[in-house]
Amino acid sequence: MSENNGTLSSDEPNRFVAARLRELRRGARMSQAFLAERMTERGCRWYQTTVNRIESARQEATFSEVAALAEIFGVSIGSFSPPEQVAS
């Protein structure tokens, strides 16, 4: 969150998706390779390295990829969005 105007920095949503994905995957005790297989089954050509790049915020996930992740983990797409912050 930018301190001067209460808006998200350009890379904050990407970092949030990275952290949320890592949290969900680890909570499900799922390997990066297994998640990549599940994503590929849903039409997203993912590899273990793709999961690693997204979890480390070096690659952005598309909306359709986030939708597939939400389906895999049984959560809403919105759970991959940073919570709104009100500027004080």
Task: State how many domains the chain has.
Answer: 1
- Which range marks the domain in which residue 56 is found? 12-73
Distance CA 22, CA 86 (A): 26
* Predicted TM-score (pTM) of this structure: 0.82
* pLDDT tens-place string over residues 1-55: 444 444 445 678 899 999 999 999 999 999 999 999 999 999 999 999 999 999 9
Distance CA 46, CA 30 (A): 15
Whether residue 19 lies inside any domain: the answer is yes
Whether residue 68 lies inside any domain: the answer is yes
Q: Residue 43 class from Cβ within 10 Å (0-12 exposed, 13-18 middle, 19+ buried)? A: exposed
Task: Let me know the angle formed at the C-alpha of 16 by 11 and 21, rounded to the nearest 5 degrees.
Answer: 130
